[in-house]
Amino acid sequence: MNEFEQDHNIEIQKQFAMQAKRFDQEGYPLSNTEYLKWAIDNIPLNKDYLALDNASGTGILARALARYVKTVHAIDASRPMLQSGKEAARREGINNIIFNEGFAQSLPYDDSFFDLTTCRLALHHFYDVYKPLQEMVRVTKTSGYIAIMDLVSPDDRQISTFYNRLENLRDSSHTYALTEQEMLELFRRYGIDIIKAQTRDVEMVLDDWLDLTDAPKDSRAAITESLLQELDGGKKTGMRPYIKDNKIYFLHTWMLIVGQKV
């Protein structure tokens, strides 16, 4: 791990330590049951599976998976996020999750250890997106499954650049959200047989989204102004803003891609 990656890992830990207490807040899309059901309905599951949720955060997906597999290992670099996840699992009566502190880019597990590995809404935080997936492939058994859900950028390169700049203004640990095509190519790079690839729009309330990261005042103003300018016919942000109930909303595109290690 080079010095830049180390610095970025520190930034990730700092950002998510701050978000930990609000990450599971009711009504926010991160913990929305509809989007979790979308994942569960499309990921191969079995009561005998040993699963890994990589960069698990508070274990939102891990807790959903736990009901359908034997054991889930939930690993994350943020101790406060893991602590929030443990508390949530206790409240929900879930006792088959093992929470581990560690980095997604260097997993502390043997080769071919898991039947299923997942990573939800984390890939866009990594300085090198190849390493987390490479590690997930390494620890997955042959014929096992790999599933990733993440934001995807617009296809247009100019719009994508602006989109990712706004995402980074709001959350300094954001690096780059892959496009749909780049996500598919990432799987193919490691010889993963793609079984499913789906996208859906996710409605976001601008103020709630900014509040989650406690976005700096100047960043908040710049993002809001950019969306208002687009609403007035200005430069496209890739966020497709609109007004509803006197609030600014916008749309994220989430992609769910599921493959088999062959």
Question: 13 pLDDT exceeds 70?
Answer: no
pLDDT of residue 48: 98
pLDDT tens, residue by residue, 78-103: 899 899 999 999 999 999 999 999 99
- Confidence class for position 239, pLDDT limits 50, 70, 90: very high
pLDDT of residue 127: 84
Whether residue 63 contacts residue 94, with contact meaning beta carbons closer than 8 Å, is answered with yes
pLDDT of residue 22: 54
pLDDT of residue 5: 61
CA distance 148 to 207: 27
pLDDT tens, residue by residue, 130-146: 999 999 999 999 999 99
- Confidence class for position 212, pLDDT limits 50, 70, 90: confident
Within its chain, how far is the Cα of 216 from the centroid?
A: 22
Q: Look up the pTM and report it.
A: 0.90
Averaged confidence pLDDT in the chain: 91
- Confidence class for position 32, pLDDT limits 50, 70, 90: confident
pLDDT of residue 2: 59
Rounded to an integer, the average pLDDT of 109-120 is 98
Question: 67 pLDDT exceeds 90?
Answer: yes
Whether residue 40 contacts residue 65, with contact meaning beta carbons closer than 8 Å, is answered with yes
Whether residue 226 contacts residue 117, with contact meaning beta carbons closer than 8 Å, is answered with no
pLDDT of residue 188: 95
pLDDT of residue 28: 61
pLDDT of residue 219: 96
- Confidence class for position 187, pLDDT limits 50, 70, 90: very high
pLDDT tens, residue by residue, 156-171: 999 999 999 999 999 9
Question: 29 pLDDT exceeds 90?
Answer: no
Q: In the chain, pLDDT over 90 holds for what percent of residues?
A: 82
- Domains delineated in the chain: 3-153+173-203+253-261 (3.40.50.150)
Whether residue 170 contacts residue 209, with contact meaning beta carbons closer than 8 Å, is answered with yes
Question: 123 pLDDT exceeds 90?
Answer: yes
CA distance 262 to 244: 47
Question: 64 pLDDT exceeds 70?
Answer: yes
More reliable by pLDDT, 17 or 144: 144
Rounded to an integer, the average pLDDT of 181-195 is 96
Contacts of residue 81, Cβ cutoff 8 Å, sequence gap at least 6: 16, 17, 19, 20, 23, 56, 57, 58
52's enclosing H/E stretch is strand 50-54
Q: Which residues pair with 203 in a beta bridge?
A: 251
Q: What is the CA radius of gyration of the chain?
A: 18
Measuring CA to CA, how many Å separate 132 from each of 6, 100, 111, 118, 170? 15, 16, 14, 11, 23
Question: 260 pLDDT exceeds 60?
Answer: yes
